[in-house]
Structure 1
Amino acid sequence: MDPFSDNSELFHIYKAFFTGAYETVLAVDSTHFSEVNQEKAFVYKLRSKLALGDIDEAIAELQSSPTTPSTSATLVYAMYLKGDRQAVTEIESLVHQNEDNEIVLVLAGIILANEGRYGEALQVLNGHQGSLEAISVIVRIHLGNNNTEAAFKEIQAAKKWAQDNIIYNLAEAWVCCRIGGEKFQQAYYIFEEQAQSSESSVRSIVSQAITELQLGRIPEAQDNIQRALEINSQDPDVLTAAITCAILMDKPVEEYESALESVDPSNRYLQDLKEKEELFERVSAKYADQISGY
C-alpha cells in the first residue's frame, strides 16, 4: 500500500503537512502507528515545529531521539535554520551516505537552493526515486529562477503516475499561477478544494484568495483574506495578501505594513518597497531644481 494513500496511517499527517496545517500535524496521535510509520510521523511533526518557528524545541527533541538518516537530516536542517554554516557541509555528507533517502535528498535540495547553488540542488533532487516532495522542490526552484517551461515539464512528467496526490496538485497549481491566463482558474479549483477541506490552513485560504485576485474576484478574495486574518493576523503571507487586496480596493495599507514590519522585517515585499522608495528619493533629488521652477 502507498504509505500516503487515503487508507494509510500517514494520510492525514501527510495532507496536513503539505497544506501548511502544522498544528494539525502536531495534534495527531501516532503512538498506535506501525514502527516504520511512527518514524515518518515523527519527522513530519519535527518539520512542522520548524515551520512554526519552534526551532530550539525541535533541536532538543531530535538530539534526544534515536538517530536515523531522516532524523539526522532534519537535525542538520534545524541547525541550518539557526544559522549554523557547518550544516551545509553536513547535509552534503549525509547525501553521499544516504543517496536513496527521500528526506535527506529533499532537505539537502532545500538547503542548497537556499544557498543559491541551484544546479547542485537539482542534481541532488533528481536522484529521487518517485518522491513527489522532491519534485515539488524541483518545481519551486525552476519557478524561482523564472524557468516556467522546465517547471511545466516536471509536472507533465509526474502527471502520469501522481495525479490527484496533494503534493502534485499543489505543484501543478503553482505552475498554473505562473503561466497565468485561463490557468488561473485551474489553480483556483485546486486551492479552493484545499481551503474547504478538514485540513484547511491559512496557507490554503490565502492561496485561494490570491487566485481570486488574479481572476478579478476582489470581494471574494477580501472575504477569504479576512477569514485568514481572523485565524492568524501575524502570518506574513496573510498580511502581504491583505496589503495587495487593500491596494486593489484603494484602501489604506499602513496597518498591514506596520504589522508585517513587526513580524517579518526582512519580508520580500518590504524590501522591494524600501528599494522603490529609495529610488524615488534619488530621482526626486536629481531633478529637484528643475521641478522647483514649475
Structure 2
Amino acid sequence: MAAPDLLFGLRNNFYLGAYQAAINNSDVPNLSQDDSIERDCLVYRSYIALGSYQLVINEIDSSAATPLQAVKLLALYLSSPDNKETTISSLHEWLGDPAIGSNPILRLIAGIVFMHEQDYNEALKHTNAGGTIDLHALNVQIFLKMHRSDYAEKQLRIMQQIDEDHTLTQLANAWLNLAVGGSKIQEAYLIFQDFSEKYQMTSLILNGKAVCCMHMGNFDEAETFLLEALNKDAKDAETLANLVVCSLHLGKPSSRYLSQLKLSNPDHMLVKRTSAAEESFDRAVQMIA
C-alpha cells in the first residue's frame, strides 16, 4: 500500500488557483521534513500569487532550506522592478552551485523568472531536464509561449505516463488543446467543466471555461464566467484582459477593464500591445496633421 499523499489537497488548491484555501488549510499534521518544506513552499507561493510579496520576504530567513530561499527570490523578483537584476544574478549564482543547483524547486523558480523575462531558452536550460511533474507542466507553458505545440505535446505525454489523472496533467492537456484549437477546444472545455464540478470554483477555472467559450464564439456565456471570476478577484490580470477582449466582441465598452488592468498589472502583454498601438496611432495622426 502506498502511503497517503498528505499534501494532495493543498497542492490541488494551489494548482487550481484557490490560494487562500491553500493557506487556510495548510496545517497538515505528521509531515516528514521534506513534506514540511514542500508545504511551506506551496503556502508562500500562494501568498506570492495573492501579491503578498513582503510577507514572504520577511518570513523566510537566511537559515531556511534551499527551496524556500528560491521561493523568497521569486517574491523579491516580483516585488519591485529594482530587484530584478540582483535577483537574476543570485539565481545564476545558485544554479551554478553544484551543491544546490539541481534542486527541483530552485530550477522551477528559475524557469518561472526567466519565463517572466521572456527569455525562454534560458528558462528551458534549467527546466528541460524535468524530474518533477511541476517542471514538466512549466515546460508545457514555456513551449506554448514559444508557439511550439509539438514540443509541448511531448512534455504532456511524459506527464501522462507519470500520472494521467494529476491536476497538472489535466491542466497541461487543456492548455495544449486551447493552443491547438479547432475541435480540441471542446475537449479543453470539458476538462475545466470537470474541475468546476469536483473542486471549488476559482478564477483560473472560470477563465479557462470563458476562453473556451470565446474560441467557440459564445461570448455571452464567456462574459458570465468572467464577471463571476471578477467577483472573486477584482484585480486578476487574466480576468480583466479576457473581459477587454470579450467586451469588444460583444460591442460593449471595455475601457474600464483596460484601465483596471493598467493599474493592477502594467506589464501585462495586452497593456503593452495597447500602448504600442496607441503610440503608433498618435504618430500617424501627427504625420497627417
Going from structure 1 to structure 2, the CA distance change for 1:250 and 1:133 (only over 3 Å counts) comes to: same
Deviation at 1:12, TM superposition (A): 0.9
Q: What's the CA shift for 1:45?
A: 0.3
Q: Counterpart of 1:186? A: 187
Distance 1:172 1:21, change over 3 A: same
Seen in structure 2, the aligned counterparts of structure 1 residues 270 and 121 have a Cα distance that, compared at 3 Å, is closer
Distance 1:79 1:235 in 2: 20
Determine the structure 1 residue equivalent to 2:94: 94
Contact 2:10 2:26 in 1 (8 A): no
Partner residue in 2 for 1:121? 123
Q: Which runs of 5+ in 2 are unaligned?
A: none
CA distance in 1, matches of 2:227, 2:113: 33
8 Å CA contact retained: 1:109, 1:121: yes
Aligned length: 283
Q: Secondary structure at the match of 2:60?
A: helix
**TM-score by structure 2 length?**
0.89
Match of 1:198 in 2: 199
Deviation readout 1:233-275 (Å, 9 max, x if unpaired): 2222111121221111111112222222332233221221122
Q: CA deviation at 1:103?
A: 0.8
Amino acid at match of 1:34: L
Query: Structure 1 residues 115, 101: CA separation in 2 closer, same or farther (over 3 Å shift)?
Result: same
Moved more, 41-50 or 211-220: 211-220
- Partner residue, 1:24: 21
User: Which amino acid in 2 is paired with 1:16?
Assistant: N
Deviation at 1:200, TM superposition (A): 2.6
Kindly report which structure 2 residues correspond to 1:69-148, keeping only aligned pairs within 5 A, or say none: 69-82=66-79, 83-95=83-95, 96=97, 97-129=99-131, 131-148=132-149
Unmatched segments (≥5 aa) in structure 1:
289-294
1:250 aligns with 2:248: no
Q: What is the CA distance between 1:189 and its match in structure 2?
A: 1.0
Once the two structures are TM-superposed, the CA of residue 85 in structure 1 deviates from its matched residue by 2.2
> Structure 1 CA distance, aligned partners of 2:101 and 2:247?
47
Contact 2:211 2:242 in 1 (8 A): yes
Contact in 2 for aligned 1:239/1:260 (Cα 8 Å): yes
Where does residue 170 of structure 2 map in the other structure?
A: 169
Whichever residue aligns with residue 12 of structure 1, its letter is G
Given the alignment, which residue of 10, 26, 34 partners 1:13?
A: 10
The one of the two structures with greater contact order (alpha-carbon pairs below 8 A, sep at least 6) is 1
SS in 1 for 2:211: helix
State the one-letter code of the partner of 1:152: E
Q: Which amino acid aligns with 1:89?
A: S
CA deviation after TM superposition for structure 1 residue 2, in Å: 7.2
Amino acid at match of 1:206: N
**Alpha-carbon distance, 1:31 to partner:** 4.6
Separation in 2 of the partners of 1:72 and 1:272?
Answer: 34
User: Contact 1:21/1:201 (CA < 8 Å) preserved in 2?
Assistant: yes
Structure 1 length-normalised TM: 0.88
Deviation at 1:116, TM superposition (A): 4.2
SS at match of 2:198: coil
Q: Distance in 1 between matches of 2:167 and 2:258?
A: 32
Counterpart for residue 291 of structure 1: none
Structure 1 moving runs of 4+ over 6 Å: none
Q: CA, structure 1 residues 232+121, in 2 after alignment: closer, same or farther (shift >3 Å)?
A: closer
**C-alpha separation in 2, matches of 1:29 and 1:287:** 61
Structure 1 residues 33 and 42: alpha-carbon distance in aligned structure 2, compared to 1, 3 A threshold: farther
Greater C-alpha Rg: 1
**Displacement of 1:209 after TM fit?**
0.8
Aligned-CA RMSD value = 2.1
Cα contact 1:100–1:128 (8 A) shared by 2: no
Alignment of 1:38-57 (within 5 A): 38-57=36-55
AA in 2 matched with 1:101:
N
Q: Structure 2 CA distance, aligned partners of 1:222 and 1:115?
A: 31
